[in-house]
Structures are given as C-alpha cells and as structure tokens.
A and B are shown apart, each in its own frame.
Chain A
C-alpha cells in the first residue's frame, strides 16, 4: 500500500472526546479541528456524487453540523455517521433544487483548476483518480452508488448507512452486494487500471 490517504480513515482518534467536549462548548479551536479532519472526505463524497457546487454544499453541511453539536453525543464513528447523514440529506436537497442529473467530471473539476495547489503532479493524479472513480460510479444505480460510497469512502457501517438512507439493513446489504458485483463486472469488461 502506498502512503496515499485511504478513504474513511480521516479521524481524530483518542483526542476525540476532549475535542468534542470543547466543540460543544463553542471553542473555536475544536470547531476548526473537526472541520479540518472531516471536511475533505465530505467534499470528496459530494463531488463524486455530482453535487452542483460541492464546496458550497460542504460549507452548508458543516454549518448545520457545528451549530447542532449540542444535540450530539457519541463516539467518533457515530459522529462520522451523523456528518454523512447530514451530507447526504443536503445532497438530495441540492439535487431537488437544481433539478438536474449529477454532473460527473464537469464544472466542479474545471473550477478546481484555478485552485492553488502545492504539488502539480499530485493534484493531477488526484483529479485523474477522482474522475476515474466518478466515471465508474456513474455506471452504478444511484442507490448502489450511495451505499458503496458511504461504505467505502465514508467508512460507515451497514447499520449507519441504513439510518442515513432511511432503508432497512437488509436492503442496504442487498444494494451493497449488487453494487459490488456490478463494479467488478465493469472492471473486468473495461480493465482500465485504477
């Protein structure tokens, strides 16, 4: 395995309880920490899901999450589940608002070309990888894509995904199984190296 960051691994770890407690009392440093750790994964999820303006939507997600911190209590995994539940809900709202199909690899990536980056090669590889993932996910049924991204990118459990999507655990398992089968079939048919 390379030293690349792996999906769903962004975490605070043993400091989470103290960070959460400080964030619940409104401490800016703790709010900032939560944002820095979890927002990149949320941004990636929204981007691959084809949100119209992923950065704007990520801001909305964290504005809601951080303002509602007082109502949350639980582990880091539960916190991650909550964030992605909010993110998915905002994504659905965004799709209804814009009334359009997910834009894969469109304006969102073009806008990113203007962003300052420290490593041009790494940025290019990142964009390429993201585009490949998006191209693959586009071939999945929407429900299968939701389940696989929440499972493999956000690292949520079956139970948490069921709650986030408002489905039964059995339905989520079935969607995961069919999604993985479809993904494997695509990769065998079109063996473009990921």
Chain B
C-alpha cells in the first residue's frame, strides 16, 4: 500500500499512522507530511471534549459516593431487587387483573384485617384499642384486651380501699396491712407446730413438736458446716412479726454461705460460653 492510497476519484490521502495521530493529538505539527490541514479540526474536537463532567444522576451518584464492596472474589456486589417468589408473582398477577372496585374493596378488607390483628396484639394506641375491642366484643364471641376498661376497674377497687368502704379503715396504709399480716403471722406461728416439720424448717425458727429447727435440719445435710449460725428476720411466721422488712423485700440483702457459693459458679458459666467447647 502506498502512502497515498486514496480512491481514484478523491484526492490522494496519506495513511494516518499512529505516530501521526499521536502528534496530532498532542497538537504538534504532524511529522507525517500532508496532515497539517487536520490540526484545527482535531483542536476543535479537543474543545468539544473539554466540557465539565456531566451532571451525575442518582444511581451513579450513589455509586460514586458509597463505592461498592467486593465479596467472594473480585465481583462487585450490586444490590438488586429481590426476585418475587412464584406464589408472590401469582398474587401480583391476580391483583393486577382485578378491577378498580375489587381493588378498593380488597384494600378496605386488608386494612380492617390489619387493624384487627393489631388490636388482638394489644399494640394499638389506647383509644384505638378500646374502639376495636368494643366492636369485636359486640360482633364476635371473642374478647380483646382493652386497657381502658382495665384501668377503670382497677381504679374503682383502689378507690374503695382508699375510702375505707372495703375494710372500714380509710386509706391504704402500712398500718392496716400490718395488722392483717400480724394476725396471719400469729396464725402461722400457731399452726406450724401442728402441721409439718417442713413448715418449721422453712421458717427456721418454728416450734414443731420435734423441737428441731431449720438450722438443725440443715446441719444434717451435706451442706453442714456452711449453715448460718443465726436466722435473719426473713420468715413470716413465729415472732418475726407482721410487716417485717424481710417479708416486704425492703430490707437489706441477706447474705448466706450458699449465696456466696452461688456466685462462684458465675465465672465458670461465663467462661464456658466463650470457650472452644461451645458448639
């Protein structure tokens, strides 16, 4: 092929080789004779290529801002919409085929079912929960939780106690309960000796017929030697008294040797969770 291998009806044009192209793209005079006329055209192409980068649309902007993560080799992980399951696809096709009226009716039904389900779960706001419960109670054999009704009943009971209508003593105070507890405590102290030794053992200071205390019983077990020498005021029987702090749970924490031993098991349990033996 000659350097001037143009068509016979055209002006002979030399072949533009890569050297000549590089020179043109650099904007320097072509080392290959016959292409200087092309230089202004190439420069204008350069101008057309010098616009700012185009405005980035949402999808590309997200990619440029967040990049992508690679996993399982070099393949980029591109989030894709989940493929519909066959049953879901069938449902979509059926819904698409419904008329407008049918779609509206279906929508109302779905909304009602959703509200009913939420009402059954008791997760609706109180006024809505009350409304749903009222409707369901009136139209079905089912009963739904209704916090509003519960509150009303609770309030009435407390109100009677507070006014003394229930027990003749106005107010719900510690003394009223204390009296009742004291009576029960005396009853327990009286009956514990007549019933079982277990009751005495559980009380620790009971007065059973055998005369054995809970500590005596405890000393007969393998835990002998670790038993306390005295019983804290925790029991509700005998002379521990009604309304004692122990029975109300408001007293100081009771520390026993057994409790001390139980704490020793905690680190072992913790270590077993992190150990290599865990499946």
Contacts and interface: CB of A to CB of B under 8 A. Distances in A.
Given A1-B28, A133-B44, A25 B70 contact: yes
B68 A67 contact: yes
Contact of B57 (A8, A47, A56): A56
B41 A133 contact: yes
Contacts, number: 173
A126 B51 contact: yes
Interface stretch (B59-67, B174-182, B187-195): B59-67
Contacts of B68: 26, 67
Contact residues on B (Cβ < 8 Å of other chain), bracket: 35 or more
Interface stretch (A12-20, A36-44, A95-103): A36-44
B21 A39 contact: no
Interface residues of A, number: 65
Given A6-B46, A31-B64, A67-B78, A39 B59 contact: no
B70 A70 contact: yes
Given A56-B57, A59-B56, A7 B76 contact: no
Nearest to B53: A39
Contact of B49 (A7, A31, A56, A193): A7
A183 B53 CA distance: 29
Contacts of A63: 59-60, 63
B26 A9 contact: yes
B164 interface: no
Given A44-B50, A152-B42, 16 more contacts: A2-B43, A28-B65, A35-B64, A40-B52, A40-B53, A44-B51, A59-B54, A126-B48, A130-B48, A149-B45, A152-B38, A153-B48, A155-B21, A181-B6, A181-B13, A182-B10
Interface of A: 1-2, 4-10, 24-28, 31-32, 35-36, 39-41, 43-45, 47-48, 54-56, 58-59, 62-63, 66-67, 69-71, 125-126, 129-130, 132-133, 136, 149, 151-153, 155, 157-158, 173, 176-178, 180-185, 187, 193-194
